[in-house]
Structure 1
Amino acid sequence: MKNQKVALITGAGQGIGLEIARSLLETGSHVILNDLEQGLTEEAVASLSGAGKGSVFGCAGDSASEEVISEMVEMAMRHFGHIDQVVANAGITLFGNFLDYSREDFFEVVRINQAGTFFLTQAAARIMKRQPDGGSILLTSSVTAHQSHENLAAYAMSKAAVEMLAKNLVLELAPFGIRINTVAPGATMTERTTSDPNYIGTWSKLTPLGRPASTTDIAAAAVFLLSDGARHITGQTLVVDGGWTSISPSPYA
């Protein structure tokens, strides 16, 4: 079984996380995916069954919960005996003007985006450090960690923290053969963004390459960073935004 990698992915019921799961299955990895909603988790597993060379299992629940993180790790070890790839993709975006932003919303963003990412990484690394081949961890950030975006102060702060986590953990994880990187998507067509009829038009004008990203664009970058092809890359952030951060025009302008 060790010849096939085993991946844990949070926030994978739809959108970018689901497409990363699909891509990893196609490369031969087994996948244990998580989403907050039981229904979305079950739908994702059903849609991915038979999609690749690997098998897929679902684990629904709050990705920042100690119990859910432990359940995902236990599921991987019970079925396969190792964990090779982790994608801490789950996150929450709560828009709000800085001067009016509530403590409740702030701490929820921090809990899910920062604490959930931190403790999933910790749990997986404790397994990976005992493995001869270590492992590869990928955190999901955002272009808002690099450029200002109105009404996203708390979210942007949380994503910048995620990038610094990856950079900082190089010191502690590299000795065990564990790589950790971050992917920072820009405007991307997902179930959430397609509900805005102006989204694709607005971001096609603002993006130098002429369109927002697809989920497959982000997944391709994610799979590369997780793969052996990136075996000498760690502590880095790959921005996938069609060039937006190079010029950074605001959608509110």
Structure 2
Amino acid sequence: MKSLEGLFDLKGKTVFITGGAGYLGTAMCEALAELGANVVIGSRDKEKCADFAKALAEKFGVEVSGVQLDITNPESIDDALAAIDSKHGRLDVLINNAWSGNKNSFDSISVEDWKYDIDVCLNGVFYTTKQAAPYLKKTKGVIVNVASMYGHVAPDYKMYVGTEHVNPPSYGAAKAGVIQLTKYLASFLSPDGIRVNAISPGPFPFGDILHNEEFIGKLEQKTMLGRIGTPEDLKGIIALLCSDASRYMTGQNICVDGGWAAW
């Protein structure tokens, strides 16, 4: 029987995380590197990616590298995966974390904005998984999709009245799609030994929004734990889902939202 330390051990594993140099991605990368994984960070910002990779490698003594990546472009994904295969010869874990979108209300969102958000938030997950599946089949690997609480609960419009922090309809629609795609993939990739799960982070605001004390207070009041999330709050769940500690889990969407969606 494996020890707990053995179940969480990722030594010798190669993890590919999209958007790994972003606000939430950095904490996920740190958790994986700390467990001994070789981490490949996919990002549109190659320089930012390279700087972060170097710092992680020095801190944890593992191989960390960055690859240029556009998740809306299957050719870019293919190039990144080929580079990973050339360098490491294997892919054990894929984390679909990359995101970007346009802030709009239902009234202000354009058709172009809607299409862009869906392409990045939902189609990008499909494209990346589709291209990575042949590599993951060889290792009986793991996929973790980053969804959102707004994929299964609606935003409270009253919170956003009079603020610039509007939540677009495209975001929740795309993340709901990610949750369903997770379940579909868990079923249809199970014959290949691939496990697929998702996490739904709750309020993890970043940037200028953190200086809006009134709005942050509204977010905090929505959670049972009375606070917003920080990137460190995702390290444990990523460690669990990427390792053998979750080897009998697949098709699940785990909420990391301070209890927001439970009441």
TM-score norm. by structure 2 comes to 0.86
Kindly indicate whether the alpha-carbon contact (under 8 Å) linking 2:16 and 2:40 is maintained by their aligned counterparts in 1.
yes
What's the CA shift string for 1:91-139, capped at 9, x where partnerless?
12323222332011101111111111111111221112133xx000000
Mapped to 2, the partners of 1:94 and 1:124 lie a distance apart of 27
Structure-2 change in CA distance of 1:34 and 1:193 (3 Å):
farther
* Equivalent residue number for residue 141 of structure 1: 147
Task: Spell out the pairing of 1:129-168 with structure 2 (5 A cutoff).
Answer: 129-131=137-139, 134-149=140-155, 150=157, 151-168=167-184
* Equivalent residue number for residue 251 of structure 1: none
Query: 1:182 offset after TM fit, Å?
Result: 0.4
Kindly indicate whether the alpha-carbon contact (under 8 Å) linking 1:94 and 1:155 is maintained by their aligned counterparts in 2.
no
Q: Number of paired residues?
A: 244
Mapped to 2, the partners of 1:195 and 1:216 lie a distance apart of 20
Structure-2 change in CA distance of 1:214 and 1:178 (3 Å):
same
SS in 2 for 1:8: strand
State which of 235, 242, 245 in structure 2 corresponds to 1:226: 242
* Equivalent residue number for residue 12 of structure 1: 20
Mapped to 2, the partners of 1:52 and 1:8 lie a distance apart of 17
Matching residue's letter, 1:245: A
Unaligned runs of 5+ in 2: 1-9, 158-166
Mapped to 2, the partners of 1:196 and 1:82 lie a distance apart of 44
State which of 21, 25, 39 in structure 1 corresponds to 2:29: 21
Query: 1:202 offset after TM fit, Å?
Result: 3.1
Structure-2 change in CA distance of 1:241 and 1:40 (3 Å):
same
Query: 1:152 offset after TM fit, Å?
Result: 2.5
State which of 199, 202, 205 in structure 1 corresponds to 2:218: 202
Matching residue's letter, 1:235: G
Matching residue's letter, 2:244: D
Matched, 1:67 2:75: yes
Mapped to 2, the partners of 1:189 and 1:155 lie a distance apart of 15
* Equivalent residue number for residue 122 of structure 1: 130
Percent identity over the alignment is 28
* Equivalent residue number for residue 250 of structure 1: none
Kindly indicate whether the alpha-carbon contact (under 8 Å) linking 1:12 and 1:44 is maintained by their aligned counterparts in 2.
no
Kindly indicate whether the alpha-carbon contact (under 8 Å) linking 1:15 and 1:191 is maintained by their aligned counterparts in 2.
no
Matching residue's letter, 2:104: G
SS in 2 for 1:51: helix
Structure-2 change in CA distance of 1:193 and 1:47 (3 Å):
farther
* Equivalent residue number for residue 261 of structure 2: 245
Query: 1:197 offset after TM fit, Å?
Result: 4.6
Greater shift, 94-103 or 69-78, is seen at 94-103
Mapped to 2, the partners of 1:92 and 1:12 lie a distance apart of 13
Query: How large is the RMSD of aligned CA atoms in angstroms?
Result: 1.9
* Equivalent residue number for residue 202 of structure 2: 186
Kindly indicate whether the alpha-carbon contact (under 8 Å) linking 1:139 and 1:182 is maintained by their aligned counterparts in 2.
yes
Query: 1:29 offset after TM fit, Å?
Result: 0.5
Task: Spell out the pairing of 1:45-84 with structure 2 (5 A cutoff).
Answer: 45-84=53-92
Query: 1:201 offset after TM fit, Å?
Result: 3.1
Matching residue's letter, 1:144: Y
Matching residue's letter, 2:222: L
Structure-2 change in CA distance of 1:192 and 1:57 (3 Å):
farther
Query: 1:68 offset after TM fit, Å?
Result: 2.4
Unaligned runs of 5+ in 1: 248-253
Greater shift, 134-143 or 89-98, is seen at 89-98
Greater shift, 159-168 or 195-204, is seen at 195-204
Matching residue's letter, 2:118: V
Mapped to 2, the partners of 1:192 and 1:14 lie a distance apart of 15
